[in-house]
A and B are shown apart, each in its own frame.
Chain A
């Protein structure tokens, strides 16, 4: 049977069709040219139906938005991989000599970019990622010859020396970010995020459903995920959500969530002190290699331990004692380090949920830390001095 792609002489294949279905498809017409598909449209008042549907959707969405605003949520930029990539691209777009912050949520929340700019006159690039060791970002910068600026590396002991990287995919994603992903981020940041409070992973349907009081299945150990803790600006300037500092039940919930970390048994890779040391040594070796590579293209590095308090501090000091981790890191990399515990001017800050400073405290802390970091960079060995070393 000789059909054609042309509509004028297309022939039907009645003998080949099989009965049994309301609408025939290629599966009912073996071994022949398939005809133009037919699609019927049900005879319904679709215009009015769509009007009613959109009105209902609008009403429900407005109710959802009102519910979360009543809970204290305000519109904020989404801390997405796309937003991180936007900041990361600044280095390749002419800001190769910039000051870059990398680290985990403590460096993300406690460093206030406008304050830093006021104190030093410089606008840093914020590349910290919550729940993530600074090492993947440090290695990424080390591998980029376009970067010859300065890096302030936030060291959260429990993350840095265990190599945990909850948001490690952000670094992988930016390298292969597609044009459509970039467009999507741009559209979201201009038309959705500044206006919609519920557009936050903490209020996604899946997350909200998962934290309902479902019966516990025997043998399982429900784990509370970290709740919303911060608000972000377009440039990733981020600060602790005021609700965490001001709403006592919410703050206590945040503390209970942190407490899970030191109440649960450690993962198999970290279940003996020897394994913990071995993993920490491996992370320090990564840092040494990255710092060496960074210095080779003229970049300078300063490590910073941000404030932490209460049981969280006790947990970190117990699992990753500074004498065996932080001090070894500084010694082996030869880079300057600033720990909140060693400086009187960095004392007196009380993180409401033990791990992050409130916004006013973060502003005061940034103002005090900025000159110290600048002095530390000034004292960093120059490329020439290092080159002269054997």
Chain B
């Protein structure tokens, strides 16, 4: 079930009530585990089996490899976990994509092969929980962590419903210790957790769904050529939409966990105020970018084997990171562009290591970063390369005779909201939400929260899915 639905409100109220009861800690953890399975089964009950497979395989793999004495045996158990998890992911997410590409490849050599119809539904959240469980066996294999002591704590780490389907992608060392010690949410945790839930809902239901999604859909889902203003507004709208949608989801997830007495890490840190692309990736989808860095970029050699190998590792990581988002070459190009940006930035830092920008230059570099990130969003949002090229052509004014698409209302609201988002990110650049809230007097805070609650209610969101659920 999605967070912005009546079903989730009822589910969460029941879970909170159970967790507040005077049961033993183990009993409450079992309740939380069962609730998490029900949360997942509310989409498509049979897919819970995949979750169980992933959980059990990684539990046993970690247990076995930690007791193995020979390196080859340790590696075999680690590989079993990797193959099992990535095998499931590949089958459900990339099977059709691989067959299609194979068909196109062999057709170049004159072989006519039509792949069978792939009528398989992507299990929701599979990309997220396979990465979470993989980090468990990989951390044990890399001797960064010991296995969990109790299966219940480990199963709850995999399944804990706030992070299960769209992150933040948790590491076992972040969550398992929290299940080992009895905890009960304090009143302040409950109150502030609900503040985060409200903030996330406002971002998702009001900003992303009500205001920004329509302009993005009108531009990217039409077959007609796109003029300069429409191309830019559509792209900016998507830029704001995907931030509000995904950061909104993460904020709700963190708030829900806090209401239950658990801490989850930040997944976003005001990314549209990033200066440079390494800074952007330390602010955008932090739990994925750090996962890719720790389990892909560093094992590929990282920056330890000279510049050429570093650039290769960087490009490989970003291309695979792009593919993680979806089985389409447009996502690979999106990742590739980020890989090129990061490589160019790395090269320039090597050449101009002593450069220290002043405030104005810093802002200009920040704007340049944001504009280049917007260019990548075109490939992320467009369903085909044809549409992506059309929007990019529009952005540089090459579709001069294109008829206008967006209404004045969509242009005005998109500009207003996206400017607001970017300004807020710059103001918050070196702050946390919590430190900023300390500065706001109680009355304006109450009024702002009241207004946000009202807008969430009258927006009448109908439980529309979060964008990242499809990944």
- Tell me if B307 is interfacial: C-beta within 8 Å of chain A: no
Cβ-neighbour of A46 out of B188, B263, B281 (below 8 A): B188
- How many positions in chain B have a CB within 8 Å of any CB in the partner chain? 99
Are A7 and B177 CB-contacts (below 8 A) given A31-B298, A46-B195, A184-B7?
yes
Cβ of B400 under 8 Å from chain A: no
Determine the chain A residues whose CB is within 8 A of the CB of B375 once the complex forms. none
User: Quick check: is B290 within 8 A (CB to CB) of the other chain?
Assistant: yes
The reply on B351 being an interface residue by CB < 8 A is no
Which of A32, A50, A176, A192 interacts with B194 by CB under 8 Å? A50
Tell me whether A37 and B174 are in contact (CB under 8 A).
yes
| Contact of A41 with B188 at beta-carbon distance under 8 Å, contacts A26-B171, A204-B458 already known | yes
Contact with B along A19-63 (1 / 0, CB 8 A): 011110111111111111111111111111111111111001100
B192 and A42 within 8 A (CB): yes
Contact partner, A55, options B145, B412, B450, Cβ 8 Å: B450
Q: Pick the contact of B449 from A40, A41, A50 — CB < 8 Å?
A: A50
Cross-interface CB contact of A6 among B1, B2, B149, B258, cutoff 8 Å: B149
Whether B446 contacts A60 by the Cβ 8 Å rule is: no
> Do the beta carbons of A34 and B5 come within 8 Å of each other?
no
Q: How far is the CA of A215 from the CA of B409 in the complex (A)?
A: 8
Partner of B462, one of A31, A42, A56, A80: A80
Does B458 lie within 8 Å of A64, measured CB to CB? yes
- A120 CB contacts on chain B under 8 angstroms: none
The verdict on A219 contacting B446 (CB below 8 Å), with A34-B173, A44-B438 known, is no
Dominant SS at the A interface?
loop
Residue contact A4 to B265, C-beta cutoff 8 Å: no
Contacts known (A43-B438, A205-B455); A212 close to B409, Cβ less than 8 A: yes
A18 to chain B, nearest CB (A): 8
CB of B208, distance to nearest CB on chain A (Å): 12
Residue of B nearest to A9 (CB): B146
B43 surroundings in chain A (CB, below 8 A): 178-180
**Would you call A3 an interface residue if the criterion is a C-beta within 8 Å of the partner chain's C-beta atoms?**
yes
Shortest CB-to-CB span from A279 to chain B, Å, is: 19
A198 within 8 A of B: yes
Most B-side CB within 10 Å, residue of A46, A178, A218: A46
Within 8 A of B (CB), among A166-212: 176, 178-181, 183-184, 187-188, 191-192, 198-199, 201, 203-206, 209-210, 212
Q: Are A22 and B172 in contact (CB under 8 A)?
A: no
One of A22, A56, A209, A214 near B450 (C-beta < 8 A):
A56
For the complex, what is the distance from the CA of A4 to the CA of B143, rounded to whole Å?
9
Q: Give the interface segment out of B74-82, B362-370, B426-434.
A: B426-434
**Smallest CB gap from B454: residue in A:** A60
State which residues 119-156 of B face A: CB under 8 Å. 121, 136, 139, 143-149, 153-154
CA A373 to CA B263, docked complex, whole Å: 64
Contact status of A180 and B263, CB under 8 A, knowing A60-B454, A61-B457: no
Mark contacts of A218-241 with chain B using CB atoms, 8 A cut-off: 1 yes-contact digit, 0 otherwise: 111010000000000000000000
**B87 contacts partner chain A, Cβ-Cβ < 8 Å:** no
Q: Is B266 an interface residue (CB 8 A)?
A: yes
B contact residues around A28 at 8 Å (CB): 282
* CB-nearest residue of chain B to A215: B408
CB atoms of A32 and B144 under 8 A apart: yes
Residues in A neighbouring B435, C-beta threshold 8 A = 22, 42
CB < 8 Å neighbour of A23 from B6, B45, B206, B266: B266
B269 near A21 with CB under 8 A, answer yes
Is there contact, CB below 8 Å, between A7 and B6?
A: no
Q: Could you say which residues of chain B place their CB within 8 Å of the CB of A183?
A: 1, 6-7, 10, 42
Contact A5 B145 (CB under 8 A): yes
Cβ-defined partner of A5 (8 Å) among B147, B181, B411, B454: B147
Is A217's beta carbon under 8 Å from chain B? yes
CB of A344 within 8 A of chain B?
no
With contact pairs A30-B298, A39-B263, A50-B194 given, residues A217 and B173 touching in the complex (Cβ less than 8 Å): no
Contact code string B432-451 (vs A, CB < 8 Å = 1, else 0): 10110110001101111111
Quote the shortest CB–CB distance from A8 to chain B (angstroms).
8
Residues of A within 8 A of B6 (CB): 183-184, 187-188, 191-192
Q: How large is the interface on A (under 10, 10 to 19, 20 to 34, 35 or more residues)?
A: 35 or more
Which chain B residue lies CB-closest to A198?
Answer: B458
A2 interface contact, C-beta 8 A: yes
CB distance from A239 to the nearest CB of B (A): 23
In whole Å, how far is A16's beta carbon from the nearest beta carbon of chain B? 11
B5:A184 contact, CB within 8 angstroms: yes
Tell whether, in the assembled complex, residue B409 and residue A209 are in contact, meaning their CB atoms are under 8 Å apart: yes
Q: Which B residues are in CB contact (< 8 Å) with A206?
A: 210-211, 214, 459
In B205-262, which residues have CB < 8 Å from any A CB?
A: 206, 210-211, 214, 254, 258
Cα A32 to Cα B460 with chains together (Å): 44
| In the complex with contacts A183-B10, A214-B407, A26-B290 CB distance below 8 A | yes
Q: Which of B144, B194, B463 has the most CB of A within 10 A?
A: B144
Q: B180 at the A/B interface (Cβ < 8 Å)?
A: yes
Q: Are A181 and B281 closer than 8 Å at their CB atoms?
A: no
CB atoms of A38 and B210 under 8 A apart: no
Q: How far is the CA of A378 from the CA of B266 in the complex (A)?
A: 68
* Residues of the A chain whose Cβ atoms lie less than 8 Å from the Cβ of B446: 48-53, 56
Identify which of B187, B290, B408, B450 contacts A27 (C-beta below 8 A). Answer: B290
Q: Which residues of A in the span 228-256 have a Cβ within 8 Å of any Cβ on B?
A: none
- Interface residue A264 (Cβ < 8 Å from any Cβ of B): no
The residues of A that contact B189 with a CB separation of less than 8 Å are 41
Residue from the list B175, B176, B192 in contact with A41, Cβ < 8 A: B192
Judge whether A15 is part of the interface by a CB distance below 8 angstroms.
Answer: no
Q: Assuming A80-B462, A212-B409, what are 11 further A-B pairs, CB within 8 angstroms?
A: A6-B176, A26-B286, A27-B290, A30-B294, A38-B263, A44-B442, A49-B445, A180-B1, A204-B458, A217-B406, A217-B411
Q: List 29 A-B contacts (CB under 8 A).
A: A1-B144, A5-B154, A5-B176, A6-B177, A26-B287, A26-B294, A27-B269, A29-B290, A30-B298, A33-B144, A34-B173, A34-B265, A37-B174, A39-B254, A42-B434, A46-B188, A49-B445, A56-B451, A57-B450, A60-B450, A64-B454, A179-B42, A180-B7, A183-B7, A184-B1, A210-B407, A214-B412, A217-B404, A220-B404
6 nearest A-B residue pairs (beta carbon): A56-B450, A52-B446, A7-B177, A180-B1, A26-B290, A53-B449
- Using a CB–CB cutoff of 8 Å, the interface residues on chain A facing chain B are 1-10, 20-23, 25-57, 60-61, 64, 80, 176, 178-181, 183-184, 187-188, 191-192, 198-199, 201, 203-206, 209-210, 212, 214-220, 222
